[in-house]
Chains A and B, each alone.
Chain A
Amino acid sequence: EAGVAQSPRYKIIEKRQSVAFWCNPISGHATLYWYQQILGQGPKLLIQFQNNGVVDDSQLPKDRFSAERLKGVDSTLKIQPAKLEDSAVYLCASSSGIVAGTDTQYFGPGTRLTVL
């Protein structure tokens, strides 16, 4: 079974530029998550999708971050404009969405973003 795919693996941009990350979840997984992991910290949930609907985006900085999952499969996370403090690893995860509350999340390899 193929795992969660993400691209690109690395990205370096200047502040105020825009950037987009792509994620393809495990086949058949209804739930998709985007996390931000700053160096030395645990991952922090940015947004959670169930199929193509948003379940939780309470920690997404909506003035600069946006995410979509239009067809309920792959997803894109965008930052515009980027700030220095956005430097982090952006992790995508997916889960089956079948077992409420005890659903195991499987993570992709992440995108390491450096903002100069």
Chain B
Amino acid sequence: EDKVVQSPLSLVVHEGDTVTLNCSYEVTNFRSLLWYKQEKKAPTFLFMLTSSGIEKKSGRLSSILDKKELFSILNITATQTGDSAIYLCAVSTGTASKLTFGTGTRLQVTL
């Protein structure tokens, strides 16, 4: 059975801090790893990673994949209160792009 594990489960930081969220996986027929941000509504797409060692960056967010050690990290620098959300990691397998999600990391950024 495909498995995706995220850590920590929750995190409280002060505005301006840097955070690192972790995602490890054990799946069959890996195709890609995706990060989503979920506030009160739909998960919104952040990154898709397919190759090891190539960092994807968008503003203060960045992510990298290690296909040998089967994990990914999501970094957020200079956090803001608007970054407060649940961050979901998902792994896509097979040609049908089936997604298996982790339970998410709940990030709270305080003033």
Say if the beta carbon of B68 comes within 8 Å of chain A: no
How many angstroms from the CA of A108 to the CA of B42 in the assembled complex? 6
**Chain B contacts of A105 at CB under 8 A?**
34, 45, 97, 99
Complex: chain A residue closest to B30, CB-CB = A101
Say if the beta carbon of A72 comes within 8 Å of chain B: no
Contact with B along A86-111 (1 / 0, CB 8 A): 00000100010000111111111110
**Chain B contacts of A33 at CB under 8 A?**
99
Using C-beta atoms within 8 Å of the partner chain, give the interface range for chain B: 20 to 34
* A62-97 at interface with B (beta carbon < 8 Å): 91, 95
Contact A100 B42 (CB under 8 A): no
Complex: chain A residue closest to B94, CB-CB = A101
**Chain A contacts of B97 at CB under 8 A?**
31, 95, 100-103, 105
Contact B32 A101 (CB under 8 A): yes
Contact B95 A100 (CB under 8 A): yes
Most chain A C-beta atoms within 10 Å of own C-beta, residue among B34, B45, B99, B100: B99
- Give which listed residue, B32, B101, B103, B104, contacts A102 with CB less than 8 A: B32
| Given A48-B98, A102-B48, A42 contacting B92 (CB threshold 8 A) | no
Contact B48 A56 (CB under 8 A): no
Contact B98 A42 (CB under 8 A): no
Complex: chain B residue closest to A44, CB-CB = B101
Contact A42 B104 (CB under 8 A): yes
Contact A42 B101 (CB under 8 A): yes
**Chain A contacts of B92 at CB under 8 A?**
101-103
| Given A48-B96, A100-B95, A107 contacting B42 (CB threshold 8 A) | yes
Contact A55 B31 (CB under 8 A): no
B-contacting residues of A (Cβ < 8 Å)?
4, 31, 33, 40-45, 48, 50, 55-56, 91, 95, 100-110
For the complex with contacts A43-B99, A100-B95, A102-B97, 8 further pairs of A-B residues with Cβ separation under 8 Å are A40-B103, A45-B99, A101-B93, A101-B94, A101-B95, A104-B48, A109-B41, A110-B42
